[in-house]
Amino acid sequence: MMTQILFALPMATIVIGALVLMLLSHSRKFTMQRLNILTVFFLLISLAVQLMIIGEHSSTFLFQDIFGDSFILDDFASIFDLMFTVGAILTLLINNDYFKSRRYFSGEYFALILFSVFGMMMLSHAHELVSAFIALEIASLSIYALVGYHKNNKVSSEAMMKYMVLGSMTGAFFILGTALIYGVVSSTSLTEISMYVANHELQELTLLIVGSSFIMVTIMFKIGAVPFHSWIVDVYHGAPYPITMFMASTFKIAIFAIALRLYLVNFAPINSFWSELLQIITVFTLIGGSWLAINQKLVKRMLAGSSIVHSGYLLIALSSLGLGSEVAAPAIMFYLIAYFLSAVGSFGILSFIASQSKKQMSYDDFKGFAQKRPYMAIMMSIFMLSLAGFPSTIGFLGKFYIFTSAIESGQLLLAGLGILTAFISVYYYFKLIAVMYFYSSDAAEKKFPLNISTIVIAIMALLVIWGGIGTSLIPFIPGADGFIDIAKQAIISII
């Protein structure tokens, strides 16, 4: 029992933290700054506990006598938990300046962030469809609220309405799919479902396939794959920077956590049925995302569009996974980390600039940026290079793993298309570098502001470089490929 409580402690800490913050948020003593520090403190406690228990256990169900096998604790879930926690911490630290500069933030904001982290953690632990849905909704509802956090801003409110209406509708698909699956299997536990799938011929599974396709719709919507992408650019644009950052990186990781688990455990035998569908979606996602990203004038919208393309790369790996590639699952996890670092970094710089001025930040606003803020420009270039998959950054390795997984599973055309879209992405990422460096400005050079936000961004820039060239030559520091080993371990733990 004690160990069970210990295992649940990371999640419990987050919920307690959220509740405490909700209570404290109306006290006048607590400024935004202090609340932020308190939130990070709760996250850090959770992180410490997670680090303590990771790797010390084989897969166990959490409180099996109460919840049955709804929640599982394995390396896979633990590693994703780590990512969410670290992601939330980084988001909060990077946006420290932004919170101070915008008056509309209040204490609930932090509670909502913690609730959504809690939802994501539940999602990665979920081993049963209804709990997965509840977890997904906890995370989503918090994020709906966060997107529309700037109440007086029309764009923000519009974004929230758009996201909430569409999101709830696709959420309904999840429930519908679950109902259909329950109708066939008479259980919603993943173990039961996978046993049922294993023991039956593909022809007997029609209803189950329909049901799981409905679940797929929800997942595709949340990651912004192309037929379900219409919300993404507007929502990313309308949301305040910290939320955009949080959605683009951390929330996306959470969705892939459940997608990977479903794929790897549950529906493995019927993956072959989906692979074609998934390939078609991938093609649309890659092309459509590139099209959206090319045509944007605002950098934030460009990043939103390009996040669709990055989902496309991940889908390539997902469909390779279905076709039996061994490196695909670790590749997805590695790519999520790579994308996380570069996206959070670039959004972080945008939010830093936004905290200094109220500009919309189109490409043109970056003219002469390299002269005004040379260090910031270098870091932004590093993030752009990483997003474009330029070698010597972590983004290159991420793409490398993704494409080799596609080649391994025989999807040469898909890999080729991926490379082609990576080439197109060079255009819109290098455009920003070009704008920053090619134009001179009259403004004098500003000093590099040393505060939490900028230091964290700088660390991330170094991590991006380290992730790309980190080598096993230098002793005591793990190389870039260290993470792949961890990811492989995690994948083994669920199979």
Partner 1 sequence: MMDNILSILIFLPLFTAVLLGLFRAELKYLKIGAMFSSVAILLLVTWTAYNFDPDAGMQFVKHAPWIQNSGMSYFVGLDYLSLLILLLISFLMPPLYIYMYHENRKGYWYNMMLLQTGVTGAILSLDLVLFYLFWEMMLLPIFIMIGKYGNGMHQYNAMKIILMTILGSMSMLFSIMYIGYIYFDTVGMWSFALTDLATLSFNAKTSIWLTAGFLLAFVIKIPLVGFHTWMAPAYGSSPTPAVVIMSAIMAKLGIYGIWRFGFDLFETTLVYYAPTIITLALIGLLYYAIRAITEDNLRKMFAYSSGSHLSLIALGLFLTNLYAWSGSLYFIATHAMASAGMFIMIGLTYKRFKTVQISALGGIASKAPKFTFFFSFFALCIAGLPGTGGFVAELLIIIGAFKANFWIGVLTATTMLSAMMYIFWMLQRTLFGKANNDTQYKDLSLREVIMLLPLAILLLATGIMPSLFTPIFEPQLTASLQEVLNIIGGLK
Is 444 one of the binding residues for partner 1 (CB under 8 A)?
no
Least distance from C-beta 379 to partner 1, angstroms?
13
In the bound state with partner 1, the residue whose beta carbon lies nearer, of 185 and 402, is: 402
Is 431 one of the binding residues for partner 1 (CB under 8 A)?
yes
The per-residue b/e assignment along 237-275, b for 16 or more CB within 10 angstroms, e otherwise, is bbbbbbbbbbbbbbbbbbbbbbbbbbbbbbbbebbebbb
In the bound state with partner 1, the residue whose beta carbon lies nearer, of 43 and 406, is: 406
Residue count of the chain, please give it: 495
Choices 18-26, 64-72, 265-273, 423-431 (CB under 8 A): range interacting with partner 1:
423-431
Is 426 one of the binding residues for partner 1 (CB under 8 A)?
yes
Residues in contact with partner 1, counted by CB under 8 A, come to a total of 35
Is 481 one of the binding residues for partner 1 (CB under 8 A)?
yes
Least distance from C-beta 443 to partner 1, angstroms?
17
Would the CA dihedral through 149, 152, 158, 159 be positive or negative? Answer: negative
Candidate residues 423, 462, 477, 478; the one interacting with partner 1 per rule CB under 8 A: 423
In the bound state with partner 1, the residue whose beta carbon lies nearer, of 211 and 418, is: 418
Is 438 one of the binding residues for partner 1 (CB under 8 A)?
yes
In the bound state with partner 1, the residue whose beta carbon lies nearer, of 119 and 418, is: 418
| Total Cβ atoms within 10 A of residue 221 | 23
Least distance from C-beta 434 to partner 1, angstroms?
6
Instruction: Judge whether 461 and 383 are in contact, CB under 8 Å.
Output: yes
Least distance from C-beta 480 to partner 1, angstroms?
6
Token pair 């404290």 in the structure block, residue: 24
Least distance from C-beta 335 to partner 1, angstroms?
14
**Minimal CA–CA distance to 322: which of 282, 276, 287?**
276
Instruction: Judge whether 336 and 252 are in contact, CB under 8 Å.
Output: yes
Instruction: Judge whether 323 and 272 are in contact, CB under 8 Å.
Output: yes
Residues 250-309 that bind partner 1 (CB under 8 A): none
Instruction: Judge whether 175 and 211 are in contact, CB under 8 Å.
Output: no
In the bound state with partner 1, the residue whose beta carbon lies nearer, of 18 and 382, is: 382
In the bound state with partner 1, the residue whose beta carbon lies nearer, of 253 and 415, is: 415
Q: Could you give the 3-state DSSP secondary structure of residue 361?
A: coil
In the bound state with partner 1, the residue whose beta carbon lies nearer, of 217 and 379, is: 379
Q: Give the integer Cα–Cα distance in Å for 346 and 245.
A: 9
Residues 451-480 that bind partner 1 (CB under 8 A): 469-473, 479-480
In the bound state with partner 1, the residue whose beta carbon lies nearer, of 10 and 395, is: 395
Q: Give the integer Cα–Cα distance in Å for 477 and 277.
A: 42
In the bound state with partner 1, the residue whose beta carbon lies nearer, of 253 and 370, is: 370
The per-residue b/e assignment along 113-149, b for 16 or more CB within 10 angstroms, e otherwise, is bbbbbbbbbbbbbbbbbbbbbbbbbbbbbbbbbbbbb
Six-digit token string for 274: 């989906």
Amino acid at 450: L
Is 420 one of the binding residues for partner 1 (CB under 8 A)?
yes
Q: Could you give the 3-state DSSP secondary structure of residue 314?
A: helix
Least distance from C-beta 438 to partner 1, angstroms?
4
Residues 6 or more apart whose CB falls under 8 angstroms from that of 213 comprise 177, 274, 277
Residues 359-418 that bind partner 1 (CB under 8 A): 390-392, 397, 400-401, 403-404, 407-408, 412, 415-416
Candidate residues 155, 419, 443, 477; the one interacting with partner 1 per rule CB under 8 A: 419
Token pair 């972080």 in the structure block, residue: 348
Is 422 one of the binding residues for partner 1 (CB under 8 A)?
yes
Is 67 one of the binding residues for partner 1 (CB under 8 A)?
no
Is 441 one of the binding residues for partner 1 (CB under 8 A)?
no
Least distance from C-beta 364 to partner 1, angstroms?
13
Amino acid at 247: M
Choices 129-137, 139-147, 341-349, 421-429 (CB under 8 A): range interacting with partner 1:
421-429
In the bound state with partner 1, the residue whose beta carbon lies nearer, of 220 and 388, is: 388
Would the CA dihedral through 193, 199, 202, 207 be positive or negative? Answer: negative
Candidate residues 19, 227, 485, 492; the one interacting with partner 1 per rule CB under 8 A: 485
DSSP secondary structure of 176-233: HHHHHHHHHHS--BHHHHHHHHHHS-GGGGHHHHHHHHHHHHHHHHHHT-GGG-TTHH
Q: Which residues bind partner 1 (CB under 8 A)?
A: 390-392, 397, 400-401, 403-404, 407-408, 412, 415-416, 419-420, 422-423, 426-427, 430-431, 433-434, 437-438, 469-473, 479-481, 484-485
